[in-house]
Amino acid sequence: MAGPKAPARDQFTICTQDCGARCCRYITIEFPTPRSKDDWDRVRWWLAHEGVVVSKDEDGWNVHVSTRCSNLGPRNACTIYPHHMDTCKEYDATLCEYTGPLDQEFELTCELDLARYLERRKLKRGRDIARAIRRAERARTQGVALPLVPLQGLPL
Ligand code: SF4
Ligand code: SF4
């Protein structure tokens, strides 16, 4: 015979115990669709850093940076609740990355991901960036020594 039905888990328990407060360990910033060479170069720069992911969903492009919120307590509880930000209050444990995969078109996690994306899409303004990433990758794997670069504006 089945025992008494377990009580439904509340959001606090799910967030602090089950999930481990994942959404308190990064920030997400929306940015306009990259179009120019400079835009793609900036995306490349972001992706060269650890803990950075660039993604696109139906609302547009986002950059995610792994960084722990300073208000997060040792047991994954928010130490400033209920005075935390509206952005945090909008998170719902039934509709977040813990519950299931987010509705993203794709994710780029490194420079090579970006090169593959630009090559696949054949984006004209990203072509030079994809080539630069491939060249850098070859140089890295071959251990090519880099030349000394003079400071800009200072004659040698
Ligand atoms: S809202 Fe979702 S991702 Fe954030 S702590 Fe709760 S369960 Fe985890
Ligand atoms: S303020 Fe609180 S709820 Fe918001 S990210 Fe920081 S720890 Fe999490």
C-beta of residue 15 within 8 angstroms of C-beta of residue 21: yes
Q: Give me the number of domains the chain comprises.
A: 1
Domain for residue 135, yes or no? no
* pLDDT per position as a tens digit, 75-123: 999 999 999 999 999 988 888 888 877 788 999 999 999 999 999 999 9
Between CA 56 and CA 61 the distance in angstroms is 4
Domain for residue 119, yes or no? no
Please give the pLDDT value at position 156. Answer: 56
Kind and range of the H or E run holding 106: strand 104-108
State residue 107 phi and psi, 5-degree precision.
-130, 135
DSSP state, residue 126: G
Domain for residue 153, yes or no? no
Where helices occur in 90-154 by DSSP H, the ranges are: 111-121, 127-142
Residue with the smallest CA separation from ligand 2 atom 1 is 84
What is the whole-number distance in angstroms between the Cα of residue 112 and the centre of ligand 1? Answer: 30
Ligand closest to 24 (CA) is 2
**Which residues lie with the beta carbon below 6 Å from any ligand 2 atom?**
24, 69, 71-72, 78, 80, 84-85, 88
In the structure, what pLDDT confidence band is assigned to residue 1 with cuts at 50, 70 and 90? very low
Between CA 110 and CA 49 the distance in angstroms is 8
* Structure-token pair, residue 85: 């930000």
Domain for residue 138, yes or no? no
* pLDDT per position as a tens digit, 136-145: 999 888 887 7
- Average pLDDT, integer, range 132-153: 85
Cβ(128) – ligand 1 distance below 6 Å: no
In the structure, what pLDDT confidence band is assigned to residue 64 with cuts at 50, 70 and 90? very high
Mean pLDDT of the chain: 90
Give pTM, 2 decimals: 0.85
Q: Which domain holds residue 89?
A: 11-109
Residue with the smallest CA separation from ligand 2 atom 8 is 24
Please give the pLDDT value at position 147. Answer: 74
- In this model, does residue 152 exceed pLDDT 60? yes
Domain for residue 148, yes or no? no
**Which residues does residue 141 pair with via DSSP β-bridges, in sequence order?**
none
* Structure-token pair, residue 22: 């994942």
Lowest mean pLDDT among 8-17, 30-39, 73-82: 8-17
Ligand closest to 89 (CA) is 2
Q: Which atom of ligand 1 is nearest to the CA of 21?
A: 5
Question: Which of 19, 27, 84 maximizes ligand 2 atoms within 8 Å of its Cβ, making it the mutation to test the pocket?
Answer: 84
